[in-house]
Amino acid sequence: MSEQTDSLVAELSRKLVETLGLDLTADAVDPAAPLIGAGLGIDSIDTLELVVMIEKNYGVKINTRAAGVEAFASLNALAAYIRQRRPASSP
């Protein structure tokens, strides 16, 4: 994993905890664990909040169920999804 990916995963972990008001630290989020369901207990409302945050912060849309399944498989998957689809002008 590159340093760029590591920093994006760390940033996403912070934003996930902040956006959803999770009762844990960003460091406690396992980047390989599933985001939806049993792992963090993220439900459909939480998922919608994350979709909005991702579009606002990264300019990346998650507008189909299949895209959501791919993107929210884990923090690592979300970082890869964003990196592949981020507009060229974004860092």
Query: What is the reported pLDDT for 89?
Result: 61
CATH assignment of the domain containing 73: 1.10.1200.10
Looking at the domain assignment, is residue 16 inside a domain?
yes
Looking at the domain assignment, is residue 90 inside a domain?
no
Looking at the domain assignment, is residue 91 inside a domain?
no
Non-local (6+) Cβ contacts of 24 within 8 A are 17
Query: What is the reported pLDDT for 44?
Result: 87
Q: Looking at the 3D structure of the chain, how many domains does it have?
A: 1
Radius of gyration of the chain (CA): 12
Query: What is the reported pLDDT for 37?
Result: 77
Q: pTM higher than 0.85, yes or no? A: yes
Domain coverage including residue 7: 3-85
Q: Could you list the mean pLDDT of each consecutive 10-residue stretch along the chain, which spans 91 residues?
A: 73 96 92 84 90 96 93 95 84 51
Looking at the domain assignment, is residue 23 inside a domain?
yes
